[in-house]
Chains A and B, each alone.
Chain A
Amino acid sequence: MSDQGTYRPFSYYQLMETSLRELLVEKGIVTDADINAEVAQMRARSPERGARVVARAWLDAQYKKRLLANGTAACEELGLEIPALHLVVVENTPTVHNAIVCTLCSCYPRVLLGIPPDWYKSRNYRSRMVREPRAVLAEFGLRVPDSVQVRVHDSTADMRYLVLPMRPQGTEGWDEARLASVVTRDSMIGVAVPSAAGG
């Protein structure tokens, strides 16, 4: 048992990914440097980008209007380049709670939220979020009263969705950076709501 280390044979998908990547490099279609740069860029994106957009919308009613009308253009205003992405921003109100899922695969607004959490890609979340959203939200610790409409967005085609949460109480007079600090990834997917205490 001394020399086993942590070696595991490749899984089916790891093997497929490695084979495809090596072939593309071998044929000169992409280089290792291209791939590394893309991975680095993917990792560099984080939910803070989405949080900036939300905080700006909380502070500036005109910006919020533009954001809801055309999410892509409103992000570009903040210098957030979102190539080839049609962003739809859906607003939570005292009577509507929005949540995002992709039942077919795992479409996610990566440019604004970074790499999706594993649960977002799980079969459990993807199948149950459309079937029994209130039960799923309760498992995240979010109980939505029956007087509030739950609106689930199944991201099946060319649009990507971002939830604009309600500004929490107790944040009066806060500046944009401080507001952004309480906007969590989960609140922009719609499985949580932000609070002035953060997290």
Chain B
Amino acid sequence: MKAQLATRHPAVAPRFEKGERVRVRKSAPLGHIRTPFYIRGQVGEIERLCGCFPNPEELAQMRSGLPAQPLYRVRFKQKDVWPDYRGADADVVEIEIYQHWLEKA
């Protein structure tokens, strides 16, 4: 079976469960960061664990990116992200975020 979400790399243990509230770290390190600026500091809910992947910030520096980081899809309410959001209250944006960018909310 080729298609599997779990990686065979040594990986950091996942800390968050589906449905848990998390806050994205508000930090601005230099480098190849896959956490968009607009979502830093926001609180959302874990939608699912996608698996563990080598840390892209390390890969971009030609390092191994190991141990692999758990990657989650996190769901945010649009009205939380953009206070002046024009659209339904229920609208959401979902983003993949690595565990080291998340903390318990």
Contacts and interface: CB of A to CB of B under 8 A. Distances in A.
Interface of A: 70, 72-73, 75-76, 82-83, 86, 88, 103-104, 130-135, 146-159
A149 B96 contact: no
Nearest to A70: B3
B92 A152 contact: yes
A157 B34 contact: yes
A103 B93 CA distance: 12
Contacts of B90: 149
A148 B56 CA distance: 35
Contact of B36 (A152, A154, A159): A154
A146 B36 contact: no
A73 B5 CA distance: 10
A157 B53 contact: yes
B85 to A, nearest CB: 8
B87 to A, nearest CB: 5
Interface size class of B (residues with CB under 8 A): 20 to 34
Given A151-B92, A154-B39, 15 more contacts: A72-B3, A133-B78, A135-B86, A149-B90, A149-B92, A150-B87, A150-B88, A151-B91, A151-B93, A153-B93, A153-B94, A157-B53, A157-B97, A158-B71, A159-B73
A22 B27 CA distance: 39
Nearest to B5: A86
Interface of B: 1-5, 34-36, 38-39, 50-51, 53, 56, 71, 73, 78, 81-82, 85-88, 90-98
Contact of A104 (B5, B36, B78): B36
A149 B36 contact: no
B91 to A, nearest CB: 5
Nearest to A155: B96
Nearest to A146: B88
B56 to A, nearest CB: 7
Mostly, the A contact residues are mixed
Contact of B93 (A72, A75, A130, A148): A130
A154 B34 contact: no
B95 A134 contact: no
A103, A131, A134, A157: most-surrounded residue (chain B CB, <10 A) = A157
Nearest to B92: A151
Contacts of A155: 96
A146 B88 CA distance: 5
Given A132-B86, A157-B34, A152 B96 contact: no
A73 B3 contact: yes
Contacts of B71: 157-159
B94 A134 contact: no
8 contacts: A72-B2, A86-B51, A156-B95, A157-B34, A157-B56, A157-B97, A158-B50, A159-B71
